[in-house]
């Protein structure tokens, strides 16, 4: 099998993982708090990544970094998975899955806004057009059908979902400029995040969930969202002739996710969600070329 075909295979498996996780978030949060879900998921991912480092013998690299690099990993681990998923899971606990997922997707557009003051980049007409298109989609999605179905109690969730995209954009800027091995960096992020979660667990005196469904959700999300999916995605990017050949495939995932959200989570899918999602993805694709040009790995 050619490398490009292998790349598509790994990318396909990853996307299959990711299209199910919004539904997994919603179902899991029925039985536990957003903190409990994150705690169990991070433990699962930490173990998966540790086993992978042992198999690939990359664990030795964990002891080769400078104090500054460890501090950098400590901060990245605080941003994601600790803070990012706490905010995202809380948003999913408030919002329908069909709303939370696309609102979280706007991070490439947020990245442009952040880059203006942080990286002193000038904003182009194309970037402005992309932002207008995507945020028009955000408004449509947030309307949740545009009628009486809108619940004012969802407003905090909308801000949390958009806030998660801001956190991820900051994380992306800092991570993309870090040239260390991706899996080793990822493991350190989860190691530090696990420390923060253990500390928080003690401070807030959180209890373990009582439903067995809770533990299935933790393992599923830790395995398919945070663990093996990242490994397969990185493998797909490494094997691909160009990153565009596989990275563009990710934009089909939110549309397939709606199928699972409807038939498994039981949500009624609004036309405004589909239309808004089209606008969000269109704006991201317009902006994508500029992002890749400015952040060359």
Q: CA-CA distances (angstroms) from residue 176 to 81, 157, 170, 296? A: 16, 28, 10, 8
Residues 220-252 pLDDT 10s:
999 999 888 888 888 887 888 766 677 777 888
Given a contact cutoff of 8 angstroms between Cβ atoms, the answer to whether 49 and 272 are in contact is no
Does pLDDT of 295 surpass 50?
no
DSSP 8-state secondary structure symbol assigned to residue 207: P
Give the least confident one: 24-33, 37-46, 243-252, 263-272: 243-252
Rounded Cα gap, residues 108 and 111, in angstroms: 5
Long-range contacts of 122-131 (CB under 8 A, 24+ apart): 124/290, 126/286, 126/287, 126/290, 127/287, 127/290, 129/283, 129/286, 130/283, 130/284, 130/286, 130/287, 131/283, 131/287
Residues 38-52 pLDDT 10s:
999 999 999 999 999
Residues 114-169 pLDDT 10s:
877 776 667 778 778 888 888 888 888 888 766 555 567 788 999 999 999 999 98
Rounded Cα gap, residues 161 and 267, in angstroms: 18
Percent of the chain predicted with pLDDT > 90: 45
Rounded Cα gap, residues 53 and 183, in angstroms: 8
Q: What mean pLDDT is predicted for residues 277-295?
A: 73
Looking at residue 21, what is its pLDDT? 93
Does pLDDT of 297 surpass 50?
no
Looking at residue 294, what is its pLDDT? 55
Does pLDDT of 192 surpass 90?
yes
The pLDDT mean for the chain works out to 86
Percent of the chain predicted with pLDDT > 70: 91
Rounded Cα gap, residues 93 and 21, in angstroms: 14
Pairwise pLDDT comparison (45 vs 2), residue with the higher score: 45
Helices (H), the chain: 3-28, 34-56, 67-77, 84-94, 97-104, 107-118, 125-142, 155-176, 182-204, 212-221, 228-239, 244-247, 253-263, 271-294
Q: What mean pLDDT is predicted for residues 180-190?
A: 92
Task: Report the chain's terminal Cα–Cα distance, integer Å.
Answer: 27
Given a contact cutoff of 8 angstroms between Cβ atoms, the answer to whether 85 and 25 are in contact is no
Does pLDDT of 58 surpass 50?
yes
64 burial (CB, 10 Å; 0-12 / 13-18 / 19+) is: exposed
Looking at residue 147, what is its pLDDT? 57
Q: What mean pLDDT is predicted for residues 215-221?
A: 92
Pairwise pLDDT comparison (77 vs 152), residue with the higher score: 77
Given a contact cutoff of 8 angstroms between Cβ atoms, the answer to whether 197 and 42 are in contact is yes
Given a contact cutoff of 8 angstroms between Cβ atoms, the answer to whether 112 and 172 are in contact is no
Rounded Cα gap, residues 271 and 264, in angstroms: 19
Residue 134: alpha-carbon gap to chain centroid: 18
Rg (CA), the chain: 19
Looking at residue 232, what is its pLDDT? 87
Q: Can you spell out the DSSP letters for 89-138?
A: HHHHHHS-HHHHHHHHTTHHHHHHHHHHHHS-PPPPHHHHHHHHHHHHHH
Rounded Cα gap, residues 100 and 158, in angstroms: 7
Q: Band of the pLDDT at 96, cuts 50, 70, 90? A: very high
Given a contact cutoff of 8 angstroms between Cβ atoms, the answer to whether 273 and 97 are in contact is no
CA dihedral 256, 251, 29, 268 (to 10 degrees): -40
Does pLDDT of 85 surpass 70?
yes
Taking the complete model, does pTM exceed 0.85, yes or no?
yes
């Amino acid at each position: 099998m050619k490398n490009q075909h292998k790349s598509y295979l790994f990318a396909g498996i990853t996307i299959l993982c990711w299209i199910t996780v919004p539904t997994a978030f919603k179902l899991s949060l029925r039985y536990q708090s957003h903190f409990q879900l994150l705690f169990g998921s991070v433990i699962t991912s930490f173990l998966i990544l540790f086993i992978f480092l042992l198999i690939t013998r990359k664990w030795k690299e964990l002891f080769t970094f400078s104090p500054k690099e460890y501090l950098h990993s400590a901060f990245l681990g605080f941003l994601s998975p600790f803070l990012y998923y706490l905010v995202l899971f809380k948003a999913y606990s408030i919002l329908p899955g069909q709303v939370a997922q696309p609102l979280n997707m706007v991070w490439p557009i947020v990245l442009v806004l952040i880059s203006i003051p942080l990286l002193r980049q000038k904003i182009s007409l194309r970037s402005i057009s992309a932002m207008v298109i995507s945020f028009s989609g955000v408004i449509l999605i947030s309307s949740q059908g545009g009628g009486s179905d809108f619940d004012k109690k969802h407003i905090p969730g909308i801000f949390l979902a958009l806030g998660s995209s801001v956190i991820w954009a900051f994380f992306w800027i800092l991570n993309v400029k870090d040239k260390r091995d991706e899996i080793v960096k990822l493991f350190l992020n989860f190691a530090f995040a696990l420390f923060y979660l253990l500390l928080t667990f003690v401070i807030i005196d959180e209890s373990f969930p009582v439903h067995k469904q809770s533990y299935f959700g933790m393992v599923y999300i830790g395995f398919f969202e945070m663990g093996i999916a990242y490994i397969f995605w990185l493998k797909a990017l490494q094997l691909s002739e160009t990153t565009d050949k596989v990275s563009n495939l990710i934009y089909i995932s939110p549309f397939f996710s709606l199928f699972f959200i409807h038939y498994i989570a039981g949500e009624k899918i609004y036309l405004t969600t589909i239309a808004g999602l089209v606008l969000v993805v269109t704006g991201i694709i317009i902006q994508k070329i500029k992002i890749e040009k400015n952040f060359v790995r």
